[in-house]
Amino acid sequence: MQISAVNFVLGAASIKQVPREGIPQIAFLGRSNAGKSSLLNALFKKEIVKTSKSPGKTREINFFLVNSQNNSYYFVDLPGVGYAKVSKSMRDEMANRIKTYVEKAHDLKGVVYLLDIRHGGHQIDFGTINGIKNAGVPVLLIAGKADKLNQSEFIAAKKKLKENFCLPEEPLAVSSKTKKGLPELWKEIEVLLGVPGA
C-alpha cells in the first residue's frame, strides 16, 4: 500500500462514536505494553500514535485514517487488555468496550493481535482471541519486540507460540525497533483489508 496520508481522526470513548461510513477498518490489540502503538508508528513511518513507558494509557478506541492512492482505511488502536494496575471495574469496562466494538463494527475486517515474543501467551490472550474469532472476525497473531531475543531464543519462542496457540505455522515476528517483519506484515494487512492487488 502506498500511503499518501495518515491522520488521527478520533478517540472513541463510547461505541456510539465509532465511525460508520463504510470505510474498512483493521484493529490492533494485545496486552498493555505489548507495543501496539509503536507498531502503528513503525507501519506508518510516522510518530503519530502516543507510546508509553507506563502501560495502561490508551483507554479510548483511537481511529487513524490512512489514505492510499484510491482508497481509505481506518487503523484502530484498541486499549490494551488485562492491565493489572488499574481497578478491576476499569479493566472490565475496557474489556467490554473492546468486545462491543469487535461485535458491532461492521466495517472491521480483521484484528492484528500483538504478543510480546518473550511471553508465551497469557490466559487473557487466549480468551480475548477466542472471543474475537467467535464474533466472526479474522485474527492475525504476531509476535512483537523480536529484537529483544537472540537467535536461539527467537527460534524457540516462535515454536512455543505455534504450539501454545495451535497455529498452522509459526507466527510472523516483528520489531518496531529494527523494522523486522514489517513488509510481511503489510502484506498480511492488505489481504485482510482486501486491498486491490494484494
Q: Does residue 37 belong to the site contacting Mg ion (CB under 5 A)?
A: yes
Grid look-up 509476535 returns 143
Closest contact distance (angstroms) between CB of 38 and Mg ion is 8
**Residue among 43, 39, 62 at smallest CA distance from 146:** 39
Closest contact distance (angstroms) between CB of 15 and ligand GDP is 21
Q: Does residue 176 belong to the site contacting Mg ion (CB under 5 A)?
A: no
Taking the chain, what is the end-to-end CA distance rounded to the nearest angstrom? 9
What Cα–Cα distance (Å) separates residue 167 from each residue in 142, 161, 182, 187?
Answer: 11, 8, 20, 19
**Residue among 188, 74, 102 at smallest CA distance from 142:** 188
- Chain positions contacting ligand GDP, by CB under 6 A: 30, 32-38, 51-53, 55, 58, 80, 144-145, 147-148, 175-177
Report whether 70 contacts 23 (CB < 8 A): no
* From Mg ion, ligand GDP, none, interface partner of 145 (C-beta below 5 to 8 A by class): ligand GDP
* From ligand GDP, Mg ion, none, interface partner of 175 (C-beta below 5 to 8 A by class): ligand GDP
* From Mg ion, ligand GDP, none, interface partner of 32 (C-beta below 5 to 8 A by class): ligand GDP
Mark the segment that binds Mg ion (CB under 5 A) among 32-40, 84-92, 96-104, 147-155.
Answer: 32-40
Report whether 62 contacts 11 (CB < 8 A): yes
Q: Does residue 58 belong to the site contacting Mg ion (CB under 5 A)?
A: yes
Interface residues with Mg ion (CB under 5 A) are 36-37, 58
